[in-house]
Structure 1
Amino acid sequence: MFDPGVGSFGISAQLSGTETDCALVDLMAELHSCEAMLVERKLAVVAEFFTRRSAEHVEGGTWTSSAHELAESEVGAVLTMGRAAAGKLIGLGFALKTRLHRTRAAMARGELDFYRVGLIESATANVSDELIDEVERLLLEQVLAPPVDGGTGLTGRRLTAAIDRIVARVDPEGMRERRRRALADRFVGVSAAEDGMARILGSIPAEQARAFDGRLRELAMSVCRRDSRTYEQRRADALGALVSGSTVLVCDCERGDCPQDRSGLVIIRRPLVHVVVHDSTLSPGSNEPAHLDGFGVISAEHARDIVKDADVREVRVPESPVPASATVYRPGAALDAWLRVIAGSCQWPHCDVPAWNCDLDHTVPFNHTNPAQGGKTVASNLSAFCRNHHRLKHSGKWQLAPNPDRSITLTSQTGHCYRTRDAGLLAGMQEPPPQEGGKPRRTRLENKAARIRGERKLRRVKIQHRTAQHAERKRRQTFPISTPRKRVPHKTVDYGNDPPPF
């Protein structure tokens, strides 16, 4: 039998009301880890039950229902869940038992919860059995919390992006095959919901989805500030405007002096989608993945398809640590693009808002009265935060401290620290991103010392070469080397019966 293992937690979880906020956060984390351990045991029981039902089904030769359906019915009945939910538990438990051994061990230690294990199982479902162990080893190195102060693990889109980067490197053909299958299974569906509403669900190419999302955002932001609707409500109304053929979302402020442009002119423009690629990705046959803003990792083949009809611009590393524009509040175009490429998304822990939908915030506040005395507008002092977390940062409830590796340590009111992690294309690099301004320039004294070292090295090489030549000449004079000439045998010419010429 399985040991429940919850006796100690059952007592410690009783709240007296006198606990400090810090103690509550620690207890929350402890119980979350305990929950992961219990769920791992439950999944192990479900997988064992399914294995036994499968064996009985094969032996009995039952033809009315499959072994999976038989197990679904019993698991669903005892756990009070429907067939789909029971089938998901069976599939996840069986995958942990037969394929994802490292993930199961991490879950048994309380390091991975049910949600993240489900993401791992789904993202690695098509990886072959020969490669799954290597993929699992590499992904756990990135997914689990790093051994640093305030280190946090990956979840959500950042977790799946890390898995996609690993699969693209270990099994590029498998990633291309999954892309072809997903493209063949694209669809858009509309289903009924409660209270006279409906739900729209679909699966379309990521670049089209980003263009669609950008168009809804553009229409939602086109109204004046006196519009009574929320941002989400305006996005929903913008979809209706697009369906009806309208090119504007009419503001509902009902003011005669509303500044909104309602001319209704049709503006034909190309959708704005940001794809970040390496130079090598554009070469035919390359398997280097790319990053689609708002989606995550895409295959090199997919990126090349998008680039065919796109404008390609080079992303440059900021010129120098303290440029002349450091005292200007808004960053320039080059610095703006570089920061969003580095971040990939909102840099608050576990937030997946696309980088190009975020605000660029000064870690050390910018001094508008005296810019020279405040925080500089440089890459090391700027971070990408979505509007919600940007406001949260300025609320004063969280403290931010930059780290040498470009990350930021956020400290909550309870004193708990959380270190941010980038999610962009460069986040999967084995080496750190290029330093701001590239390599630091040397001083005159450093240049002089380097020149002297170079000249001395060249002189040593010349002396060694001349010494070797002198030794070779002396050796030849002492021991002359001569090669005897081979004698070629003389061949007698046969003139036959002809007389010799006179």
Structure 2
Amino acid sequence: MFDELVDATTGTRGAGALSSWSRVENAACAHRVATMAAMLDEAHAASGSADRDQWCLDNLDAVAAHIGAAQNTTPGTASHQLLIAVALHDRFPRVAAVFAEGLITYALVKTVVHRGALVIDPDALRALDGLLAEAFEDWEPRSVDKTEKAIDVFVAQVDPHAVRRDETKARGRSVEVRIEEDGSGLATVLATLFAHDAKAFQARLKNLAATVCPDDPRTADQLRADAYGAIGNGTDRMACLCGNDDCSAAQNPPATGVVVYVIASQETLADPDPDPAPRSEPLASKPESPAPPPELVAEDTAEDADAAPTSDAAAPQSDSRPATPSPSTDERAALDGEQPPLFDKPLRELTLTEALTPTPGYQASLRPAAMMGGQFLPGAIACRAAIGATITPVVHPGQAPPETRYRPSKKLADFIRCRDMTCRFPGCRVPATQTDIDHTIPWPHGPTAASNLKCVCRRHHLLKTFWGGENGWRDRQLDDGTVIWTAPDGREYVTTPGSRLLLPELSRPTATVSTTGRPAPHAAGLAMPRRRTTRAQDRAHRVAAERELNAEREPYAAPADP
């Protein structure tokens, strides 16, 4: 069927080609979803799979990890896609057939799975599957809200107590923090909360914005935006940026117990130097050890509540490439104040060419930084984040010998986290501050050295330990921090340190490791943490509880006669 859809695109153009390729795209997505369900079926068919359903990292987690690596997606995205795939092919086979023909989209499939999740009677489920499949053959375009309501009508026909109606507007309140991927170093916060809490939050922003002096260069909107950061930091005032020596607000900087890790070069955080001569001295003290000179410095500012509670921070520094004075003062000051005019003279005086060619901006001279997790941060914003932060040099170990213990020292652990920035499993973006430091060759046969250490989140650490071995996940590490993962099916996935693009000096090769003896299996002497209940039991409990609430409400009872 799929090949026939592809052949039908031959010779098409314009709207006809668009329609044909849209159907091919839907059909291809259906094949992808079917493959995911088949992978889980294969895992369940393996020997001992029933016992692994109660593992903390169960069969579904292991398959989702493989799906995430194959698609280069995060574990959360892969797990969600796998759950949709299983529900579609186990509960709605006729809808899956319509999907395979390319007649419906993946978004509509997700809505069907969600809105029909409470139908548990097999006969009712088959009836619902048939009704939806017939309706989708000539389904008209609808908004999201109308689509959900239309599907709910079919659900109500087969099982009135299975209609999803516990999601009132109040239940839908949420906060979404979305870090922009455009390199601007900004984030968008979208929040829906109770009206009285919103009023209190608005007043809190206003009060915080008033803690700076009148000479602060920021506009009212910028002050309110920065007040968000002050609340996130847990401070009761904001840092004043007026630059006046006699400013009382500037002399009393805020302190915070919340930590964000920003990795920046030492030259970025250096104070602007009006002298055109290059600096020769480092801006951070050199370590007392004979190791190579510091490369990076990590700076700690406020981050999310999941960050490790520490007061250390880091930013790169280098003796080989001295900081060059530049218009960095202008770059830092350009973050605040009113937007400059687009043109240098009134619009009526511009020629057409001048009006269509705005004044070009200047090229940034401050070296960019990154947050722990790999998010790009422009140099000027990194300097702003350094206000009130603790600066900790990050020392590249060079060819230093391995440490003689299992747990790495703080100096070595800081380097590993700043080099990797995230979990090193393919597609995983868990920040390095929330990961374990894993020996690629298990201790004591593998040394505690930079070339044998990497950051791995707890989920993928368990995956490697208990789903590893000859027929499971295996990994090997190169001297520059590159990790090569081998999946159970033999395919290889390569991950490089997160710092390689912006801070390549952290990826310089370190001392080659050598093994002592024959490494024991990862799981030797260990036991996988177990669930109290399986996923299927958890789902059955949630469905039963929601159906019970629906039965108590009886929203579809016939209204009384007037």
User: Common fold, TM-score beyond 0.5?
Assistant: no
Q: What TM-score do you get using the length of structure 2 for normalisation?
A: 0.35
Relative to its length, the structure with more helix (as a share) is 1
Q: What TM-score do you get using the length of structure 1 for normalisation?
A: 0.38
Higher relative contact order (CA 8 A, sep 6+): 2
